[in-house]
Amino acid sequence: MIDKKILEEHNLTEKEYERIVELIGKEPNITELGIFSLMWSEHCSYKSSKAHLQKLPVTGENVIQGPGENAGIIDIGEGLAAVFKIESHNHPSFIEPYQGAATGVGGILRDIFTMGARPIALMDSLRFGPLSVPKNKTITEDVISGIAGYGNCMGVPTVGGDVYFNECYSLNPLVNAFCLGICEKDKIFYAKAEGEGNHVLYVGSKTGRDGIHGATMASAEFGEDLEEKRPNVQVGDPFKEKLLLEACLEVMNKNLIIGIQDMGAAGLTCSTTEMASNSNSGIEINLDLIPQREEGMTPYEIMLSESQERMLLVAKKETVKEVQEIYAKWDLDAVIVGQVTSDQRLKVTFEGKTVVDIPVQAVVDMCPLYHRESKVPAYLESQTKLDPVPLPEDYNSTFEKLLSSPTIADKQWVFRQYDHMVQINTALLPGADASLLRLKNKKFALAMTLDGNSLYTYLDPKTGGKIAVAEACRNLACVGAHPVGVTNCLNFGNPEKPEIMWQFQEAIEGIAAACRTFSIPVTGGNVSFYNDTEGLSIHPTPVLGIVGLVHDVDKSCSPGFKNTGDVIFLIGKNKDEIGGSEYLKFIWEMEKGQPPQIDLQEEKQVHDVCIEAIEKGLLHSAHDISEGGLAVCIAECAFLGDNRAGCTLHLKDRIRSDALLFGESQSRIIVTVKPENKDALIKIAQDQNVPIEEIGTTGGKNITICHNEEKIIDLPVQKSYTTWKQAIPDHFKAR
């Protein structure tokens, strides 16, 4: 009998239970209830977010597949398609950082190759608590090892991503994994279960008890029972997944299957019901045939297991033998476990008895949707008000301190643990504004980036949402790429709290507005709610993954200074803004003020100027101004240059020196050109009415910045480079 306690354990409300009974016309047994609890979890059903997600633009000429499938697909020309998506694995990564992060990577990889695409790039957006706390260090170290352990073994390069540190992630780190794959656009596979009588095959790893209730876990807040949830985290086997990848691509290349779906969150439950639902068919499976790695598993456990590295295929009788031979070649199981039916029901038998018999539509499509209440959070009024901040006494030491902020400091300690070069397409190494991948034997190349500053979103979710899109596009512009498609991972707190719901709605509106301005479709992504531990919510953290095209790979650009004597230009305009900056947070310990404001049209024009200048071969370097402001941007240009040469800047803006140096005003890019190309660059900007200003020259051993003729920063490049380079490694040496 299903009682209140069981419902609670399954995270279902009584109302939801009543609806289940009504939909299936009977009291569900425990296995059936388990199936509903998974598929109606926030993680699988998007019941709190669906109504708002509809505001995002999802269409465009180049869209082959929008939201709703395993991944989004964009036509990139010459018969090729880019298949990409980002997904969170936050909760598992907190409970068991190594396996949580590793299986996050494994899951996103499967989402991509399930569609017939070979994954060519991974990126991760990571958010941790401050490294001064030992527990955060362990989480950081293990998450990064987990990502490395899985991605490296798979032979898919982790080419970039971002890492931020903030107290709000101490009890709730974020691990968002992005993957992009390439396939021929007429060879895409979908999760289909068509053709009555066709075989249903189970391929990949054997099923164990790991990960039972993973999706339900990801849909609730954490309390003190954290340790008990460890068995809910799946264990990854990247070697198995590598075999699965090669075998699946081989059967797809030979066109031997009808449909395929990976068993990610919600395992067999999700794959069977979604495949049947997509094709208006039914599926019948016999659990006695499922390869199992543990003894005595119940139907409930088999259906709800989230064991990794598994896929469900549908194939015609004639091709099954060849399919099985290919999997055998790669030492994998491929077992016939059932068949496609026409009755639109999921029927599951176990030891000769029917243990599940329910209509698939009820499970997949009839979860109640919620229009949850929203309310402006109380914190906003006090947090957005900024009392006067004193000016720093010594700009040199303030600047050096800012360079040691882990959010700003060099991330090579992270990236060198990832194989970022395998597949030999990585044309820009991690640390550039965006990652750039050449496509062998093609002139065009793919750029991609992840972005999301949660401090902005915390102080003004709508502006934060806009900036997340704008900054990602600005990063693409800095390498010379035109944005073509978006995936997003929306990390928020408990949506049952009206304040969180408000943050969510506002952020979506901001993202939607920016995507419309840049004419880029959102092709999918993931919502991660319930990022709360012990009642504390994270800052709202939308992470945007944007993919762009560089028309000619030989005409791309990188951030580092190239030659001594080049002229430094600012495209865009300095403004008197310090609210929400890393400077305020790290130097003055304040998460306050209005975040930088943004005019999306202006922003786009700045990108257009930068891209045009790169395509005309004028620029030697381009780097966007973001966390840490103009001063940090300039320093990074010097650090990333081949010879680590310095520069001298003369700034004349009539604004506070700290806002000028460290403020994070948007729509600004620092570029360098040869002196003879100055006029050509200025003309491009003037033609588009974009502000442009010559601010200095490269060369020398120091980074020297003068404001209104006064030298306020003068530091040897080598010294500040060491500060920036060593900040993160030093945290780990100290143990």
Partner 1 sequence: MSKLRFGVVVFPGSNCDHDTFHVLKDVCGQNTFYLWHKDHDLNNADCVILPGGFSYGDYLRSGAIAKFSPLMKELQEFAHEGGLVLGICNGFQMLLELGLLPGAMLRNKNLKFLCEHVHLKIENDQTPFTNQGQKNRVLRIPIAHFDGNYYASPDIIEDIIANGQIVFRYADREGQITEVANVNGSVENIAGLVNKQRNVLGMMPHPERASESLLGSDDGRIIFKSIIHHFTNS
The interface region with partner 1, picked from 15-23, 412-420, 467-475, 482-490 by CB under 8 A, is: 412-420
Does residue 238 bind partner 1 (CB under 8 A)? yes
- Residues 33/11, Cβ–Cβ less than 8 Å: no
440 forms part of the interface with partner 1 (CB under 8 A): yes
The residue from 18, 27, 68, 239 that contacts partner 1 (CB under 8 A) is 239
Residues 291 and 335: beta-carbon distance below 8 Å: yes
214 contact partners, CB below 8 Å, separation of at least 6: 92, 232, 233, 234, 265, 266, 306
**Binding of partner 1 by 193 (CB under 8 A):** no
Among 30, 188, 330, 333, binds partner 1 (CB under 8 A): 330
Work out which of 29, 253, 417, 564 binds partner 1, going by CB under 8 A: 417
Min dist CB 57 to partner 1, Å, is: 34
- Which residue in 136, 307, 426, 667 binds partner 1 (CB under 8 A)? 426
Q: How far is CA 100 from CA 168, 207, 308, 401, 533, in A?
A: 19, 18, 12, 33, 17
Q: Which is nearer to partner 1, 382 or 441 (CB)?
A: 441
Q: Contacting partner 1 (CB under 8 A), which of 427, 432, 467, 634?
A: 427
Using the rule CB under 8 A, give the single segment among 20-28, 304-312, 420-428, 667-675 that binds partner 1: 420-428
Stretch 625-684 residues interacting with partner 1 (CB under 8 A): none
Residue 25: exposed, middle, or buried by beta-carbon count in 10 A (0-12, 13-18, 19+)? exposed
Tokens 């990236």: give the residue: 415
List C-alpha distances in Å: 467 to 446, 454, 515. Answer: 22, 10, 11
Select from 208-216, 295-303, 326-334, 335-343 the region that touches partner 1 (CB under 8 A): 326-334
> In the complex, what is the shortest distance from the CB of residue 267 to partner 1, in angstroms, rounded to a whole number?
22
735 touches partner 1 by CB under 8 A: no
Interface with partner 1 (CB under 8 A), residue from 441, 589, 689, 710: 441
In the bound state with partner 1, the residue whose beta carbon lies nearer, of 219 and 324, is: 324
By CB under 8 A, tell whether 419 contacts partner 1. yes
Based on CB atoms, which residue is closest to partner 1, 598 or 717? Answer: 717
Amino acid letter for position 404: S
Sequence-distant (6+) residues with CB within 8 A of 48 are 42, 370, 372, 495, 496, 501, 529
Q: Which range of residues in 18-26, 144-152, 304-312, 541-549 is near partner 1 by CB under 8 A?
A: 144-152
Q: Give the residue from 426, 447, 445 showing the smallest Cα distance to 156.
A: 426
307 binds partner 1 (CB under 8 A): no
Q: Which of 176-184, 232-240, 286-294, 633-641 is the region at the interface with partner 1 (rule: CB under 8 A)?
A: 232-240
Does 444 engage in binding with partner 1 (CB under 8 A)?
no
Q: Which are the contacts of 543, defined by CB distance < 8 A and separation ≥ 6?
A: 86, 125, 174, 176, 450, 451, 452, 468, 488, 489, 490, 491
Considering the complex, what minimum distance in angstroms separates the CB of residue 423 from partner 1?
6
- In the complex, the smallest distance separating the C-beta of residue 434 from partner 1, rounded to whole angstroms, is 16
Is there binding between residue 251 and partner 1 (CB under 8 A)? no
Catalogue the active-site residues.
43, 89
524 binds partner 1 (CB under 8 A): no
The amino acid sitting at 186 is: D
Q: How far is the CB of 46 from partner 1 (least distance, A)?
A: 35
Asked if 424 is part of the footprint of partner 1 (rule: CB under 8 A), the reply reads yes
Closer to partner 1 at the Cβ: 242 or 592? 242
**Comparison of 369 and 424: residue with beta carbon closer to partner 1:** 424
Among 29, 145, 597, 722, binds partner 1 (CB under 8 A): 145
Nearer residue to partner 1 within complex by CB, 391 or 424: 424
**Residue 434 interacts with partner 1 (CB under 8 A)?**
no
- Provide the greatest CA pair distance for the chain: 87
Give the nearest distance from C-beta 683 to partner 1 in angstroms.
30
Q: What is the 3-state secondary structure (H, E, C) of 169-217?
A: HCCCCEEEEEEEEEEECCCCCCCCCCCCCCEEEEEECCECCCCCCHHHH
Share of the chain residues as helix, strand and coil, in percent rounded to the nearest 5: 40, 25, 35
With CB under 8 A as the contact rule, the residue among 418, 456, 586, 639 that binds partner 1 is: 418
Strands (E) located in 499-566: 522-528, 532-533, 536-537, 541-550
CA-atom Rg of the chain in angstroms: 26
Q: Which residue has the tokens 């899985």?
A: 150
The footprint of partner 1 on this chain (CB under 8 A) covers a number of residues equal to: 35
By CB under 8 A, is residue 23 in contact with partner 1? Answer: no
Write each residue from 146 to 175 as x if it is in contact with partner 1 (CB under 8 A), else as -, in one continuous string.
Answer: --xx--xxxx--------------------
Identity of the residue, 345 or 420, whose beta carbon is nearer to partner 1 in the bound complex: 420
Out of 242, 345, 411, 482, the residue judged to bind partner 1 by CB under 8 A: 242
How deeply is 3 buried, as exposed, middle or buried, from its count of CB atoms within 10 A (0-12, 13-18, 19+)? exposed
Whether 479 contacts 434, CB under 8 Å: yes
- Contact present, 414 and 127 (Cβ < 8 Å): no
Q: How far is the CB of 412 from partner 1 (least distance, A)?
A: 8
Residues 543-602 that bind partner 1 (CB under 8 A): 553-554
Supply the minimum distance, in Å, between the C-beta of residue 553 and partner 1: 7
Nearer to partner 1, 149 or 465 (CB): 149
471 near partner 1 (CB under 8 A) = no
- Residue 258 gets the label, from left (phi > 0), alpha (psi -120 to 50) or beta, of alpha
Instruction: Using alpha carbons, select from 613, 626, 599, 636 the residue that is nearest to residue 684.
Output: 613
Give a three-class secondary structure readout of 362-409. HHHHCCCCCCCCCCCCCHHHHHCCCCCCCCCCCHHHHHHHHHCCCCCC
Nearest CA among 667, 641, 473 for reference residue 558: 641
572 Cβ contact partners less than 8 Å away, ≥ 6 residues apart? 602, 606, 625, 665, 666, 667, 668, 669, 690, 691
728 touches partner 1 (CB under 8 A): no
Residue 734, interface with partner 1 (CB under 8 A)? Answer: no
**Closer of 153 and 257 to partner 1 (Cβ):** 153
* Beta-bridge mates of residue 208: none
Cβ nearer to partner 1, comparing 419 with 591: 419
Output the smallest distance, CB 410 to partner 1, in A: 13
Q: What angle do CA 678, 680, 682 make, to 5 degrees?
A: 70
Among 422, 439, 536, 680, binds partner 1 (CB under 8 A): 422
Tokens of 152: 């490296």
Cβ closest to partner 1, residue 124 vs residue 237: 237
In angstroms, give the least distance from the CB of 573 to partner 1.
35
Contact flag: residue 610 with partner 1 (CB under 8 A): no
Amino acid at 344: Q
Residue in 525, 515, 517, 504 with CA at minimum distance from that of residue 461: 504
Report if residue 331 touches partner 1, rule: CB under 8 A: yes
Strands 345-350 and 282-286: parallel
Among 6, 51, 226, 429, binds partner 1 (CB under 8 A): 429
Q: What is the DSSP letter of 31?
A: H
Question: Which phi and psi (to 5°) does residue 281 adopt?
Answer: -120, -170
Give me the residues that bind partner 1 (CB under 8 A), please: 145, 148-149, 152-155, 237-240, 242-243, 329-331, 412, 415-424, 426-427, 429, 438, 440-441, 553-554
